[in-house]
Amino acid sequence: MKRTIAILAFALTVFSVSAQSTWWVFFADKAGSTFDPYSYFDAKAIERYRQCGADLYDITNYPVNADYEQGVATLATEEIGASRWMNALGIVATAEQIVAIERLPYVLRVQPIEADGMQYASADMEEEPLDGLFDVAYVDGPLTAQLVRMGGKDFHDKGIDGKGVRIAVFDGGFPQVNTHSAFKHLRDNHQILKTWNFPKKKEDVYGWNSHGTMTLSCIAGREGDRNLGLATGAEFLLARTEVNSEPFKEEVWWQMAVEWADKNGANIISSSLGYGKERHYTKDMDGTSYVAKAGNLAARKGILVCNSAGNEADDRQWKTIITPSDADSVLCIGGIENSLTEYNHIEFSSYGPSADGRLKPNVCAFGYARTANVGKGDNRYHYVHGTSFSCPLVAGFAACAWQASPGKTAMQMFDLIQRSADLYPYADYSFGYGVPQAAFFTGTKQPVAPTFRFEVDGENRIIHVKPNAIVMDKPIFFKEQSDNGHIYRYGKQQIDFIDTTGYISFGIQPNSVLVVHLDGYTDSISMDKGSRSSTSALGSGSFGEVHGHSHASNPSFRNPQSDNKPSLWGSNAKYRWDIYGQMGLNIATGNNEVDNNFFSPDYGFGVRFLLAFSKTYCLGVGIGFNIGYYRYNGREVNDIENSLNLPATQVEDDAVDTRRVKSSEFTVEFFQRVRLLPMGIFGHGLHWDLGIYGTHAGLSYRLSSEAPSAIAASHIDTRFEKPDVLSKHEWQFGVATRLTYDFIGIYARYRLNGIGSDPAAGKVFLPRLVVGLQLMF
């Protein structure tokens, strides 16, 4: 019993440690705080404030009251950092500490950060060589294909390289940026002005995750004489904000980094980061998260915030965008495939809209990119993929666009970048307004003549789209939406060939608007008023059907209401399940157990079902089947037989015959699960389980020698059909715990009652403790 208590005490200790959580503590006021913007802000920040009409003396710029901060920090386990804009302090604290903090008179409220979950993986960090994927998009000249797709030659030919624009880049690290040849021009011209490592609280950012090196490549990198990014003349602020082992703190660091960028004069923030399924629910993607609010406030202060849409499109538990890209004033950037001739959404780039129905993404760019490669040597490059890389490509584009449009505010640039995109004014939830084009800002954009016309078949409620000239190898984009812009369905079709006698038909519902984009031209038409069907005729054969002298691929279209609906089952969903297999050893732990000459393996498999109460806490039930073998030599036979209440076999004490007890167990367990870290291949992350179990065990006792005739017939196990096997059944109960990262972990079970034992009589126990490895899927 003492050992049992010790094990339970240890488990409770682990639980108490894991119960330390990350919190925002909001203060009631900023009483006593003083602020001088001219000593606090960089001169470029002051210029930006004046240009956009923001108030330098806005209360959000005042520091947090130092006494308030110190008072909370004294009670907390750890202080992460303060936010001026939110008038709050990020801390790590236990529930007991939070109770004391809430009683402080200057504390307005306390908000748990991790109650919603964990870190969103900082976009796709693919480092596998992808050269074959880029064959279709390779171009000669001073720009890589990723820049040519945005019409970057127009900027390059006019000498526009982002000069005078300051860009803050947030990421998980920037190894070799201080040595790699891709950034030599930035170092030589002193274009990296400031750096800050928020997790380490120091200036050094030139290490850790190479993701930042790759995203910076897409803004301003060079490979020999070729540009990887458009903004090679911009200035830079580099901030490290992400650490996979500290997931609860990253939103605090992101918030602090935005304020740091504001202070140091950033015009643009490039953030290929975000927070989604491990921390939030899809309903939260409505611009109300703290980082989304920070993004909106940064825009009010004159900063253009660019953020990746996310890599969740092929994840059935999410599919939609992540935060802070859901913020109204944050430019959300999606990804497309690396083709200069076709227009395809890249399979992993998240879809819009926001949870409250706003258009997202806003624009898109290549989700494949050529970047600097971190490793041995400082002159290595490779191709990578992820929505992470579309964001910095557009951030570099934005710097050049701003240089070409001096005097504009951040929100004016936001609107102009959307207007410059090659699908504008058409937009949908895959591409936004399309890929931004430099010609819009250089004055070289060519006017577009109408490429099609509408004809209406009112009797059948069908609209025909008829080309004005022969169309070859062009995509046509279409959507059915409400009068206020809410999209019911949308899609794309590749036209191989269609002449002026052919047409494409679209059957739409009353009160709907059909919007079509073909070869740079967009037009729309409304169907007559009437009652709209609840089914909206989605997927009808007349939507995108090609007629006449023509050839086209089958149309692909999406229904946001159904296609974006996340699954209720999964590692980050409300309902979760595990299938597991395990193998361990029974271990003798006390004097009343046989502790010599044992080799006692344990095998098991089963399934568990869990109900999530938050992103980090679940309750579960599991059923499983285990087989345990207890082997011992003949010197211990009599004691074992007595403890199992089996008839004596009259084997001599000094015999060396091997005996075996086999335990076949059907197990039911009830447990709680606390997730400590996110991610992994299967998305389970690092989690700890603690629970209780009950087992109905069938015990088979096998002799190696011929059984004596004295054995009662009732003990013969007919399953084995051998007279030397005895059997009995009994219930067992115990505690179980597991520590698992993603799909592999360690487990332990401790049986609270002995197998057929009588402690008062001093009978021998079989081992109670099982420890082993587990695979979980």
User: Omega of the bond prior to 361 within 30 degrees of 0, cis?
Assistant: yes
User: Omega of the bond prior to 475 within 30 degrees of 0, cis?
Assistant: no
- Mean pLDDT of all residues in 533-549: 52
Per-residue pLDDT of 713-730, as tens digits, reads 333 333 334 445 556 778
DSSP secondary-structure letter at 324?
Answer: T
Asked if the model's pLDDT at residue 734 lies above 50, the reply is yes
> What order do you get walking across the sheet with 21-27 strand by strand?
78-83, 88-93, 21-27, 107-112
Query: What pTM does this model have?
Result: 0.82
Give the least confident one: 150-164, 352-366, 386-400, 456-470: 456-470
| Confidence label for 277 from pLDDT (cuts 50, 70 and 90) | confident
Average pLDDT value for the chain: 82
User: Omega of the bond prior to 353 within 30 degrees of 0, cis?
Assistant: yes
Per-residue pLDDT of 50-68, as tens digits, reads 999 999 999 999 999 999 9
* Unique residue bearing structure tokens 């790590």: 92
How are beta strands 452-457 and 658-677 bridged, if at all?
unpaired
Of the two residues 216 and 357, the one the predictor is more confident about is 216
How many Å apart are CA 225 and CA 695, to the nearest integer? Answer: 70
* Unique residue bearing structure tokens 């538990």: 317
Q: How far is CA 553 from CA 480, 493, 765, in A?
A: 20, 6, 72
Instruction: Quote the pLDDT of residue 558.
Output: 79
Burial class (CB in 10 A: 0-12, 13-18, 19+), 654: exposed
Q: How many CB atoms lie within 10 A of CB 554?
A: 9
Asked if the model's pLDDT at residue 5 lies above 60, the reply is no
- Mean pLDDT of all residues in 690-715: 62
Asked if the model's pLDDT at residue 479 lies above 90, the reply is yes
For 98-167, give the secondary structure using H, E and C.
Answer: HHHHHCCCCEEEEEECHHHCCCCCCCCCCCCCCHHHHHHHCCCCCECHHHHCCCHHHHHHCCCCCCCCEE
Q: Return phi, psi of residue 219, to 5°.
A: -95, -45
Instruction: Report CA Rg, the chain.
Output: 33
Strand ranges, E, within 482-600: 487-498, 503-507, 513-518, 521-526, 545-547, 550-552, 556-558, 575-587
Asked if the model's pLDDT at residue 184 lies above 80, the reply is yes
Sign of the CA dihedral running 229, 192, 243, 290: negative
Asked if the model's pLDDT at residue 101 lies above 70, the reply is yes
How are beta strands 268-271 and 166-171 bridged, if at all?
parallel
Counting Cα atoms < 13 Å in the Cβ hemisphere of 401 gives 31
Contact 22, 114 (CB under 8 A): yes
Give the least confident one: 128-142, 527-541, 597-611, 674-688: 527-541
Measured at the CA of 290, the angle between CA 334 and CA 56, to 5 degrees, comes to 100
Of the two residues 523 and 659, the one the predictor is more confident about is 523
Per-residue pLDDT of 601-626, as tens digits, reads 889 999 999 998 877 789 999 999 99
Contact 617, 672 (CB under 8 A): yes
Of the two residues 540 and 499, the one the predictor is more confident about is 499
Per-residue pLDDT of 294-318, as tens digits, reads 999 999 999 999 999 999 887 777 8
Instruction: Quote the pLDDT of residue 368.
Output: 93
Q: How far is CA 551 from CA 430, 495, 498, 520, 546, in A?
A: 24, 7, 6, 20, 7
| Confidence label for 652 from pLDDT (cuts 50, 70 and 90) | very low
How many Å apart are CA 169 and CA 241, to the nearest integer? Answer: 10
Instruction: Quote the pLDDT of residue 648.
Output: 45
| Confidence label for 688 from pLDDT (cuts 50, 70 and 90) | very high
Q: How many residues does the chain have?
A: 777
Closest CA to 151 of 365, 426, 408: 365
